[in-house]
Amino acid sequence: MSKPSRIYAIALKEIRQLMRDRLTFGMIVGIPLIQMLLFGYAINFDVRGIEAGVVDESHTSFSRALIADLAATDVIRITMYCASAAELSANLRAGKIKVGIYVPADSERRRLTASHAGVQLPGVQLPVAQLLVDASEPSIESVVRGIAQTPLPGRAGSYTDSYRPYEIRTEYNPERRTAVQIVPALIGVILNMTMMIFTAVAIVREREKGNLELLITTPVSAAELMAGKLAPYVVIGLVQTTLILGLGALLFDVPINGSLVQLYLAASLFIASTLMLGLLISTLAQTQMQAFQMSFFLMLPSILLSGFMFPYDGMPKPAQWIAQILPLTHFNILVRGIILRDANLGDMTVQIVKLLCFLGATMTLAMLRFRKRLD
C-alpha cells in the first residue's frame, strides 16, 4: 500500500470514529452556531430598557414632562417611584435599579434661571435634575451619559445649545475604571471555568482508570462519594477567590466596600452550584474528552450572557431568559453588589433563591444519574 493510501485509510478511520462520537460531531456544528447566535444576536451595545427609579419632589408639569422625555428614549425604563432620595439610593445599592432620576423641589426655579442664563450668562448653569448611575456594570454609565446630553427645551419650545439639564452622578465607580467593573466579576468567570472542569472529569476519570467498580464495592454511599469528591474543590474555589481579591486590590486598586463574610458565603453557594453542574456533566459523559467538550459548550454562553463583559440590558429577551438559567449571571450581581456597592445578601435575596434552586435541581439530577450508574 502506498503512502497516500495509508494516509487515506487513517483519515477515513478518523472520520468514521468522529461520526460514531455523536457528542463530538454535534460540537463541530454546535459551537460555531452558538457563537454566531451569541455574537450576532445576543451581544448588543445599543442598550435599551435600563431599569430606573424616580424621585420627583417638584410635582410640576415640567418635572413630569422631563421624566416622560427620558422614558420616551427607550433607553431608560422606569420601574419604580421612590418617596425620598435615601430610598432611591438604597434601591440603587441593592441592584434593583441601575439608574436613579432625582428631580429636586426647586427644579422649576432652576429651569427659569438656566433659561435666563443661557441667553445672558452662558457660564451659569443650574442642572434641573440629577441622574444617579450604577457604574459597577459595563456600558451603563456611557449610555446614560449619552442621553443626558439632550438640551433642555426653553419656555417657548426652543433649545439652548449651551445648556444641559441633567447632572450625572457616577456611583460606586466614580473614576469609571474598567478594572473596577471587570475584576469582581472575574471571580465568577474563573470559578465557573475551573470548578466545572475539575468535577466534569471526576466520575469519568474513575471509570476510565477502573476505580469506579472498586468504589461500588465499598460501603461508601453515592451521596458520601459525591460529597467527598466535591469538598476539596470548595476549598480550592475559596482560595482562588482570595487570590483574585488580593491581586485585584494590589494591582488594580479595586475597592472592597462590603462584608468579606457575605462575599465568601455567596462564593460558597456559587462554587457548590458550579461543582454540582460539573458533576452532572461527569455522569453524562462517557470519556474525559466528552466532559471537556460539554463543559466548554456551557462555559461560552455563561461568560457572554452573564453581564461579565456585555451589558445584560442590551440583550434581547430570549437571551435574557437563557441568562437567567445560568448561575454566573446571578453571582455577578452578588459579587458586584457586595464588593462595589456595599450591598447585603438580604438586599439580593432573588439571586440567592435562584442559585439555591439551580443547586437543588442539578443535585437531584446528578444523584439520579449517579445512582443508576452505581446500580
CATH 3.30.1360 is the classification of domain 50-171: no
DSSP-assigned states of every residue in 180-209? HHHHHHHHHHHHHHHHHHHHHTHHHHHHHH
What's the first-to-final CA gap in the chain, in angstroms?
48
**Residue 7 confidence (pLDDT):** 74
Beta strands in the chain (DSSP E): 50-56, 76-81, 99-103, 129-134, 166-171
Question: Cα separation of 321 and 331, whole Å?
Answer: 16
Sheet hosting strand 129-134, strand order edge to edge = 76-81, 50-56, 99-103, 129-134, 166-171
Predicted confidence at residue 142, as pLDDT, reads 84
The owner of cell 472575574 is 186
SS3 call for 308: coil
Q: What is the pLDDT of residue 337?
A: 94
Q: In the chain, where are the structural domains located?
A: 50-171, 178-374
pLDDT value at residue 374: 44
**CA torsion angle 155 160 166 170 (round to 10):** 180
Whole-number pLDDT of residue 243? 94
pLDDT, block means (10 residues), the chain with 375 residues: 69 70 64 70 76 92 85 88 92 92 85 56 65 88 78 46 70 89 92 88 73 64 74 90 93 92 95 91 82 83 84 82 92 94 92 95 85 48
